[in-house]
Amino acid sequence: MVILFDGICNLCNSFVRFVIKRDKNNIFKFASLQSNYGTALFSHFRIPLNSFETIILYDGKNIYFKSNAIIKIVSSLGKQWKIVLIFKIIPLIIRNFFYDLIARKRYMLFGKRDSCMIPNPEEKAKFTDDIPFMP
């Protein structure tokens, strides 16, 4: 599964670090939305190229956006994280309203970087920026 994130967003980068730390089974790979991988995925799924206000999860056949992506990612981190599935009882329109609210204000609230994050040597294998997108 590949998590695509806004590479210059501090909140998004913190979420990526959160997932890396807890992904004990190495089920996730990562790519910035701005990467070649991200651009190819956007093109394949006909997603507007300026859609940087969402986390995207691609599992090889399905694509998840916004709150659905967050719930799917966190609930995949192990038994103790399955509790986040409770948020599925909240209608998607309400979940994504709050997601969008935070996404629009994320730079103001959490700041942003001048460039995409650079993984440390141990994390490098988890990033797919240089791997071609294969639908």
What per-residue confidence (pLDDT) applies to 134? 60
For residues 28 and 19, the answer to whether their CB atoms sit within 8 Å is yes
What pLDDT score was predicted for residue 120? 67
Using an 8 Å Cβ cutoff, are 57 and 72 in contact?
yes
pLDDT of residue 49: 66
Instruction: Report residue 72 CA to chain centroid gap.
Output: 10
Q: Which of 61, 76, 81 is nearest to 25 (CA)?
A: 76
Mean pLDDT of successive 10-residue stretches along the chain, which has 135 residues: 80 85 89 80 77 80 91 91 90 92 80 63 66 60
Measured at the CA of 5, the angle between CA 93 and CA 42, to 5 degrees, comes to: 80
d(CA 1, CA 9): 21
Q: What is the pTM of this model?
A: 0.81
Identify the pLDDT of residue 4.
Answer: 87
